[in-house]
Amino acid sequence: MPANRAVVAALAALGLALTATACDDAQGSTTAAASGPGSPSPTERVASMTGMRLLDKGREAFGRASSVRMTGFVVDEDSGRRTNVQLAADRKGQCAAKVDAEGKGEFEFVRTEGTLLYRPSAALLSALRGTEAAERYRDRWFRIPPTSEYASMADLCDLAGLPAFGDPNSSWSALAGEPGTVGGRASMGVQLNSTEEGAFTAHLAAEGAMVPLRMEDGWSESVGKTMTFDFTDYDVPVVLPALPAGSVVDGDLPAKAAA
């Protein structure tokens, strides 16, 4: 999941990039106000953690997850074009995604048993190869070879590639942020940074397993302007679309057209 920043990797198919975390802050955490005598709540305990402790807990929780769904968007910094992404992936390499690139069209891709398949919408295929090709290959899936310019789409399917949380050995700095709520769940923010990938704000679940609930590009006033991804459906099996007999085409047709 892609050096492209964020949850993510390059969407080479359309020439867009998905951007998808900290000095050791011994005093960088935000402490929640005490509500009274007795044991602190789980949220209060999380709010007392340093940034590096939050990052470590997030890595541990994400590393135990068998699958996850990611839903969000990326805005290309040069063109301003927004790309919406829905993706579900698991540790076995199974993956199913839908991508809507503003002004370009929609497409889907799946990865199963090491094979990457790509299905452009009729509108996108028509733009790439004309109406005749769009009609001939309507609802067909193209098998993408490893040498294709499309092949990097598969990077989004690798959970180990998730910035900061996917790779436990990567070097990031982390500074504790603020408590909040994401999707109705109590959360704790952590500001992440690396020389290669840049700055991100992550929101971790403040109760239960401290999995990432959201990642946004940048800090403070820049948060959410160019990239936001929500993480849901942890440990829910990935459902791949049906591939009827004869629906898979050998050949990198759309990529050749784009070239």
- Predicted confidence at residue 74, as pLDDT, reads 87
Name, in order, each residue with C-beta under 8 angstroms of 221's C-beta and a sequence gap of 6 or more.
none
Residue 32: what pLDDT? Answer: 34
- Written as six digits, the tokens of 85 are 């992404």
User: What is residue 133's predicted lDDT score, i.e. its pLDDT?
Assistant: 85
Residue partners of 205: CB distance under 8 A and separation at least 6:
61, 185, 186, 187, 211, 213
How far CA 45 is from CA of 84, 124, 191, 208, in Å, comes to 35, 50, 18, 12
pLDDT at 218: 83
What pLDDT score does 102 carry?
Answer: 80
Q: What is the pLDDT of residues 192-201, one digit of tens each?
A: 998 888 889 9
Task: Note the pLDDT of residue 217.
Answer: 86
CATH code reported for the domain at 10-258 = 2.50.20.20
> Rounded to the nearest 5 degrees, what angle is found at the Cα of 204, between the Cα atoms of 31 and 159?
150
pLDDT recorded at residue 40: 47
Q: Cα dihedral sign for 78, 127, 5, 222? A: positive
pLDDT at position 167, please? 79
pLDDT by position in tens, the chain (length 259): 333 343 343 343 333 333 222 233 333 333 333 333 444 456 658 889 999 999 999 999 999 999 999 999 988 777 788 889 999 999 999 999 999 988 778 999 999 888 999 898 988 888 878 888 888 888 899 998 888 877 888 888 899 888 899 977 778 999 999 999 999 999 999 999 988 888 899 999 999 999 999 999 887 655 556 889 999 999 999 999 988 888 998 876 665 554 3
Tokens encoding 161 = 């590639």
